[in-house]
Amino acid sequence: MIKGVGIDIIEIERIEKLMSDKPNFLVRNFSEDEQALNCKSETVAGNFAAKEAFAKALGTGFHGFGLRDVEVLRNTHGAPYIKFKGEQTNANVSISHNRTTAVAVVILT
């Protein structure tokens, strides 16, 4: 049974600007495990979009928790998964990007 669906799209250029203008952007918004994965702006944008999509799928937005409480990680095959407040979720995550935008879809089951 589907409990919630969220989608988010973000311009990669916006993330590139945040990364260059605000040196603490990654530290403030991503866990240490995520930071180890976030080397390219496309990856950062996709993961940021997945965090937003997860909050939308919950139906609460970021009410009562922050961006660092939602971790977008990768399994051994490279597929994304989400941990929320340290616990792995039953969220199905799809992340994609082209040269200009990143998009993420999250389905909670």
Residue 13's CB is within 10 A of a number of other CB atoms, namely 13
At position 48, the amino acid (one-letter code) is F
Residue 9 tokens read as 């799209």
**CB proximity list for 85: less than 8 A, separation 6 or greater:** 65, 69
The catalytic position among 56, 63, 83, 85 is: 56
17 assigned to active site: no
% helix, strand, coil for the chain, step of 5: 40, 30, 30
3 assigned to active site: no
Hey, which residues are catalytic here?
56, 97
